[in-house]
Amino acid sequence: MKKWTDEEGEEFHNSDVCYGREYAPGSGTIDVAKISIRGEFPAGGRYGCVGTHEMAVVIRGEGYIDTKAGEHVDLKVGDVVYVEPTEWFRWGGNMDLIVPCGPAFDPSRHKIEEMA
């Protein structure tokens, strides 16, 4: 078993509007992050693909997730969303999320591309 305090998470900043803390046990099989979204990420009409199974629980605020395939889902506190490893998506709004990933998030697998 492993336990972290809030401050023990590894801080990250994907952009000015997407930031948080990651908690990873080091096995590579799973991790979880506390993520704050304060706008659109990725911005500028782009989408991201994380290369892992990703789920998100909205714990504060509201927003949305858009997919490159044209889906739009509004999100509010208590909602849970699942994103497949190959799905291109973007977040928007003013919300805080708890996001577990399996396998653990790896920045080398995270891709961002322009909207087609």
Q: Indicate the pLDDT class of residue 110, thresholds 50, 70 and 90.
A: low
Q: What is the mean pLDDT of residues 44-54?
A: 91
What's the fold here for domain 20-104? Jelly Rolls (2.60.120)
pTM for this entry: 0.90
The residues, any chain, with a CB within 8 Å of residue 1's CB and separated by 6 or more, are: none
Question: What pLDDT is recorded for position 50?
Answer: 87
Asked if 93 contacts 61 with a C-beta cutoff of 8 angstroms, the reply is yes
Q: Indicate the pLDDT class of residue 45, thresholds 50, 70 and 90.
A: confident
pLDDT digits (tens, 9 = 90+) for 80-101: 999 999 999 999 999 999 999 9
Q: Indicate the pLDDT class of residue 42, thresholds 50, 70 and 90.
A: very high
Q: Indicate the pLDDT class of residue 48, thresholds 50, 70 and 90.
A: very high
C-alpha of 104 from chain center: 12
- Domain range annotation of the chain: 20-104
